[in-house]
């Protein structure tokens, strides 16, 4: 029987495969120690410094491994099944994270845009016109469904759209934005 | 231009100084333009004291004839010679022809704008608003740090007069792609209009 790991556990264990086997072994030993008695936060700090991750990450890693070990013995999982669970997770790890990050409540997302220049020459109510316009086809994605919207705009509005959206892009270069990003991490 | 017999009859009545003196003629002409172009105009446009002496049926008939003609002339972008030719056919004297042409010229732009705005077309983008956010957490994935843009396009439907909005999210790269394409369209438009 394959072990079911919760999302939180998967996250906790996520950084382990990147480390070499010696490190993982050390983690394994710490996990066993943890099981036997208690934990020593100082060990986490040391490990965190060496590995260049936060000590929280280390603690979670140990706890995750501990969970794995306990579940394994609880369920008397076979060696094979245990390895399979881990490999399954590792192989699909990247995909799992991407899917999880995108399955949050979301809006349709931008996919592509096509445009076409149109010149209106006449209509039923007025002949001999010269009215330039731009037809726009907006491709959006939502939950795997593709949606297209066909829209139109005039030259003045088009310039306005470009100007506004360029300002939006500029916002990511501001000090305010950079400060927020730095401090959140 | 296709004009019915009733338009011609109406104009012939307007041409007759016995039915419409100079003042009445000018008032009726102005009333015709006003009811077409002024959004707030109502039926009271013909309620002028100087028009009271004329039979209301005649007034309405001539008013309708004038309005119909004005719309047809506007639709086909009639020039002064076309207008004059028709009016003279309807027995308009020099003075009344001149008056009509002048009044038409004064209102030409508004008339063409009005006629040009009638018709079906694709939903029209009128404005855009945006929001930059930094996503830090969801209930599925505990830690994720990434910026995202939320863009909303304000759209106007010509026939239903409704104002739906189209909102979507995008990453910085996607927004750059979007802006790049809009800029291409804008440059093409500029080049095309210079030709």
Would you say the pTM of this structure is higher than 0.95?
no
Tell me, what's the pLDDT at B67? Answer: 94
CA B165, CA B147: separation in Å to the nearest integer?
Answer: 23
For residue B194, being part of any structural domain is answered with: no
B58/B124 same-domain check = no
CB contact at 8 A, B177 and A111? no
CA B137, CA A34: separation in Å to the nearest integer?
Answer: 29
φ and ψ of A2, to 5 deg: -80, 145
What is the overall mean pLDDT for chain A?
A: 73
| B52 burial type by CB count under 10 A (0-12 exposed, 13-18 middle, 19+ buried) | exposed
Q: Under DSSP, is residue B165 helix (H, G, I), strand (E, B) or coil?
A: strand
For residue B77, being part of any structural domain is answered with: yes
B43/B93 same-domain check = yes
Q: CB atoms < 10 A from the CB of A169, how many?
A: 16
Using alpha carbons, select from A107, A32, A109, A99 the residue that is nearest to residue A72: A32
Nearest residue on chain B to A171, judged by CA atoms? B132
Q: Which of A56-70, B42-56, B68-82 has the lowest mean pLDDT?
A: A56-70
Tell me, what's the pLDDT at A107? Answer: 84
Cβ within 8 Å, pair A153-B151: no
CA A157, CA B186: separation in Å to the nearest integer?
Answer: 10
B158/B111 same-domain check = no
B107/B125 same-domain check = no
pLDDT at B184 > cutoff 90 = yes
Tell me, what's the pLDDT at B72? Answer: 94
Interval A115-159: pLDDT, tens? 999 888 898 999 988 888 999 999 999 888 889 999 999 999 999
Range of B142's domain?
120-172
Tell me, what's the pLDDT at A164? Answer: 96
Which pLDDT band holds residue A28 (cuts at 50, 70, 90)? low
B113/B124 same-domain check = no
CB contacts, 8 Å: A138 with chain B = 166, 168
B113/B89 same-domain check = yes
CB contact at 8 A, A160 and B170? no
Cβ within 8 Å, pair A126-B177: no
B67/B37 same-domain check = yes
Helices in chain A by DSSP H: which ranges?
7-13, 21-36, 41-51, 55-75, 79-102, 155-170, 175-184
pLDDT at B115 > cutoff 50 = yes
pLDDT at A26 > cutoff 90 = no
Once rounded to an integer, what is the mean pLDDT over residues B91-110?
94
CB contacts, 8 Å: B124 with chain A = 151-154
Integer CA distances (angstroms), B182 to A110, A115, A138, B132, in order: 14, 8, 11, 20
Sequence-distant (6+) residues with CB within 8 A of A176 are none
- Selecting from A129, A132, A152 the residue whose C-beta is nearest the C-beta of B123 gives A152
Residue with the bigger pLDDT between A175 and A90: it is: A175
For residue B132, being part of any structural domain is answered with: yes
B144/B92 same-domain check = no
Best probe of the A interface among B142, B169, B172, B187, by most A CBs < 10 A, is B169
CA B27, CA B53: separation in Å to the nearest integer?
Answer: 13
Tell me, what's the pLDDT at B49? Answer: 84
């Amino acid at each position: 029987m394959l072990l079911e790991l919760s999302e939180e556990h998967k996250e906790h264990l996520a950084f382990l495969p990147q480390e070499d086997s010696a490190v993982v072994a050390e983690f394994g030993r710490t996990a066993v120690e943890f099981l036997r008695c208690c934990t020593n936060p100082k060990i986490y700090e040391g490990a965190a410094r060496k590995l260049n991750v936060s000590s929280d990450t280390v603690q979670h890693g140990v706890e995750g491994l501990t969970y794995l070990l306990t579940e394994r013995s609880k369920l008397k999982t076979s060696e094979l099944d245990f390895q399979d669970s881990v490999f399954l997770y590792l192989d699909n790890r990247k995909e799992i994270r991407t899917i999880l990050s995108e399955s949050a409540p979301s809006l349709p997302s931008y996919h592509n845009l096509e445009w076409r220049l149109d010149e209106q020459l006449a209509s039923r109510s007025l002949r001999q016109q010269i009215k330039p316009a731009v037809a726009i086809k907006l491709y959006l994605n939502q939950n795997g469904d593709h949606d297209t919207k066909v829209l139109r705009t005039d030259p003045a509005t088009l310039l306005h759209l470009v100007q506004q959206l360029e300002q939006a892009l500029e916002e990511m270069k501001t000090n305010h934005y950079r400060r927020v990003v730095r401090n959140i991490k | 231009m296709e004009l019915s017999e009733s338009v011609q009859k109406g104009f012939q009545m307007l041409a007759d100084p016995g039915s419409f003196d100079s003042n009445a003629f000018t008032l009726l002409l102005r009333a015709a333009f006003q009811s077409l172009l002024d959004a707030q105009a109502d039926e009271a446009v013909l309620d002028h004291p100087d028009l009271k002496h004329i039979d209301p049926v005649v007034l309405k008939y001539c008013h309708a004839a004038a309005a119909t003609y004005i719309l047809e002339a506007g639709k086909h972008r009639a020039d002064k010679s076309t207008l004059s030719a028709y009016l003279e056919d309807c027995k308009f004297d020099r003075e009344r022809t001149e008056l009509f042409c002048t009044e038409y010229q004064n209102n030409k732009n508004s008339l063409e704008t009005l006629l040009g705005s009638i018709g079906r077309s694709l939903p029209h983008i009128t404005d855009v608003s945006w929001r930059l956010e930094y996503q830090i957490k969801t209930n599925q994935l505990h830690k994720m740090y990434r910026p995202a843009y939320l863009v909303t396009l304000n759209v106007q439907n010509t026939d239903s007069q409704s104002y739906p909005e189209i909102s979507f999210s995008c990453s910085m790269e996607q927004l750059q792609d979007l802006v790049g394409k809009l800029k291409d369209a804008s440059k093409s438009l500029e080049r095309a209009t210079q030709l």
